[in-house]
Amino acid sequence: MWKEFKEFALKGNLIETAIAFVMGAAFGKVVTAFVEKMFAPLVGLLTGGINLNDYKFIIRAAKANSPEVAIAWGEFVTASIDFIVVSAVMFFIVKTINTAKKKEVVSVSGAPTEVQLLGEIRDLLKK
């Protein structure tokens, strides 16, 4: 049983998936920092100091013993921008990888196969 588990755990796809998951989490933090610390301040500068995270629709104001009830739509917009940036970057990464794979396949398929080379050698030896 231990041997089967070891084979399963050490399969290439599982390890690659785990690495991709960790890298994706780290990349998400980088993008969040970019959106919150670089993009949002620029938007705030262009719009007169507006911070999207502060915008909300108050349903019920806070009372002495109960907090306010609000829909924080500004945070949703910030998270949406974050998602769009991550999606765009991932799209371009996948597109670049797919383009590189296509070029690799074309160059490999253009080379003669082993059977073709052996046939040419046979023909040359017959002469």
3-state DSSP helix/strand/coil % of the chain, to nearest 5: 75, 5, 15
Yes or no: say if 33 and 82 are a contact pair by the CB < 8 Å rule. Answer: no
Local confidence pLDDT in tens for the 127 residues of the chain: 888 877 777 776 777 788 888 988 888 888 888 888 888 888 888 888 888 888 899 999 888 888 999 999 988 988 888 888 888 888 988 899 888 888 776 655 666 778 888 888 888 888 7
Q: Which CATH class is domain 2-126?
A: mainly alpha
- Predicted TM-score (pTM) of the model is 0.58
Residue 66's SS3 state is strand
Q: What's the CA gap between 5 and 116, in Å, rounded? A: 44
Query: In the chain, where are the structural domains located?
Result: 2-126
